[in-house]
Structure 1
């Protein structure tokens, strides 16, 4: 490890403001605690189930795990850095950490899309699911293959991030090299592509593959789910229903799930959009609001991870029951 150096200007601004600093710590801890709760509660119910495993719960656990890993490896490190414990890594460690940051963040985006895609596929199903009482216990093989592709393909994509990085110096400036990865050097690690063109190509492909495409697909699948539910609600009021219409047996529950997924998508897009606008203002304008907008970008980067467990708790029965039990227990202790 290289010697400790002074923190960046944005870190100093957050640390010097009690409000910003307290809010930042609250968001980081909320993301860590919330996603850990989702993993523990939903994961425990999956392990206890004796019949077929609910695929939606498996997807929720996968998304919460990706959220937690990003929060621990990125947001928590930034929080510790803002506390004044600024550690600068060696070149080899920067190779490792930059690759891990890109890998986890990219997988996190596609894991979030996975939820809306699965719900849309469930609503579009034209036959009831086949459940065998004596079949193998566990999630469907297609779901396992999907998870394997998300994590393995994003790991392959992150290989340039493992290679083209280095430890920078005190004068390393804040820049947007990868939209979903970083807005400033963390632990002294910065990008080191052979040429500006190769760096721009990797950044552009990252924005298209891990930002634009999944966000467009989120919107399409969620809109498709809402239209399917609307059409099915209308078909129930008519005498002649098409035999190849989608089978939706639990309309109220599916509508609630669609609203939760829509809220998650809006939260994700708002977080992403705020971060991109703020950082690009810094990169290309450098006006009087530069420092404030970088602080906004820092908070926007973590808002989805911090608030998504709360949104999930609204629509998930077991999570609601667990949180209610914890709150009642705390009230009884302090009463």
Structure 2
């Protein structure tokens, strides 16, 4: 491993404004997601007999956000600020695999929140807490989270194999939204052929961008429609007391709005990144470099801003933020 100063061309590619904006977003993401894990996780540990499945999913999503930010985005900031570190081949394969694994798991962890809320509403009268005789989270929830991390680890295997180390003059010839939008630590893709590389990039776009975004949209719209339907049923319950209704409609509506805001933020962030990266992959032109900068900003936007969205809709996070702001004001 060796540290080298960046070349003049590398320094000119990253403007001061871009570095400042990216640094702020990375810090916001690190602090925000750490806060979500600490506040929501603390409530789970403090009340072990009362398990809120939604809080477990929020902690998992925040954890995946934080790991992506620490393992990659923080290193990008350090690189932009003047320090370039070049790893050997084995370490590059390890880091590329980790980046693909974390980023892919992050996508599906975000979708899992929408899917869980939709399934909760489909049960008509969801239980908020677990039964005291069976402490701990539901087995189906644990199985779902384990499935997300294990399947995405399997998907990342090509990154552990088809990558290598470059040098300060290396340029990325293939971009993947789920891993890298430029060489970092000197690590670049090294597929046997251009065809196999584009095949992996295309499958990545379908599996980790197109499908999750489509499923997020469907499940969130399904949640909103279910709430609307039960709202109508609730009005009819005056005539038919035995009609099944969701007794926590106001709370579920707030949750649906928060999840909708997260989905819009995710889709806009990833959609921008997808367009930029695939323009680079398939139709490079004079705008390629600018679009890659846009992709870098878009990749961090959801991670940075999602804790703020959660703080608006989550009672404990909102109370914590109010407490912090009141102390600062004093």
Deviates further, 236-245 or 177-186? 236-245
Q: Which moved more, 1:315-324 or 1:1-10?
A: 1-10
Query: What is the distance in 2 between the residues matched to 1:241 and 1:96?
Result: 61
Distance in 2, Cα, partners of 1:287 & 1:130: 53
The 8 Å contact of residues 177 and 199 in structure 1, kept in 2 or not, is answered as: no
Q: Partner of 1:185 in structure 2?
A: 183
1:275 is matched with: 273
| Equivalence map 1:80-119=2 (5 Å) | 80-119=78-117
Tell me the equivalent position of 2:328.
330
- How many residues align? The count is 329
- Measured on the aligned residues, the alpha-carbon RMSD in Å equals 2.1
User: CA, structure 1 residues 8+121, in 2 after alignment: closer, same or farther (shift >3 Å)?
Assistant: farther
Which sections of structure 2, spanning at least 5 residues, go unmatched?
Answer: none
Answer yes or no: is 1:170 the counterpart of 2:168. Answer: yes
TM-score norm. by structure 1 comes to 0.92
User: 1:309 and 1:7, CA in 2 relative to 1: closer, same or farther beyond 3 A?
Assistant: farther
Q: Report Cα offsets for 1:307-330 as digits up to 9, x if no partner.
A: 000000000010011011111111
TM-score (norm 2): 0.93
Q: Larger deviation: 189-198 or 121-130?
A: 121-130
More moved, 133-142 vs 52-61: 133-142
**Worse-matched range after superposition: 308-317 or 207-216:** 207-216
Task: Please give the alpha-carbon distance, in whole angstroms, between the structure 2 residues aligned to 1:225 and 1:263.
Answer: 13
Q: Give the Cα separation in 2 of the matches to 1:36 and 1:56.
A: 17
2:145 pairs with 1:147? yes
Q: How far apart are residue 83 of structure 1 and its match?
A: 1.0
Structure 1 residues 201-210 or 102-111, which shifts more?
201-210
The alpha-carbon deviation at position 6 of structure 1 amounts to: 2.4
The answer as to whether partners of 2:50 and 2:129 remain within 8 angstroms in 1 is: yes
Runs of 4+ in 1 over 6 A off after TM superposition: none
Distance (Å, rounded) in 2 between the aligned partners of 1:186 and 1:120: 38
Structure 1 residue 278, shift from structure 2 partner = 2.1
Contact kept, 8 Å, 1:35 with 1:309, in 2: the verdict is yes
Distance 1:90 1:226 in 2: 50
Does the C-alpha gap of structure 1 residues 286 and 201 become closer, same or farther in structure 2, counting only changes over 3 Å? closer
**Structure 1 segment 308-323 matched on structure 2, within 5 A:** 308-323=306-321
Is the deviation greater in 134-143 or in 64-73?
A: 134-143
Q: Gapped runs of 5+ residues in structure 1?
A: none
The 5-angstrom pairing of residues 1-335 of structure 1 reads 1-4=1-4, 6=6, 12-14=12-14, 17-129=15-127, 133-239=131-237, 245=244, 247-332=245-330
Alpha-carbon displacement from aligned partner over 1:166-195 (angstroms, at most 9, x marks no partner) = 002333223443222111111110111112
Cα distance in structure 1, aligned partners of 2:259 and 2:200: 30
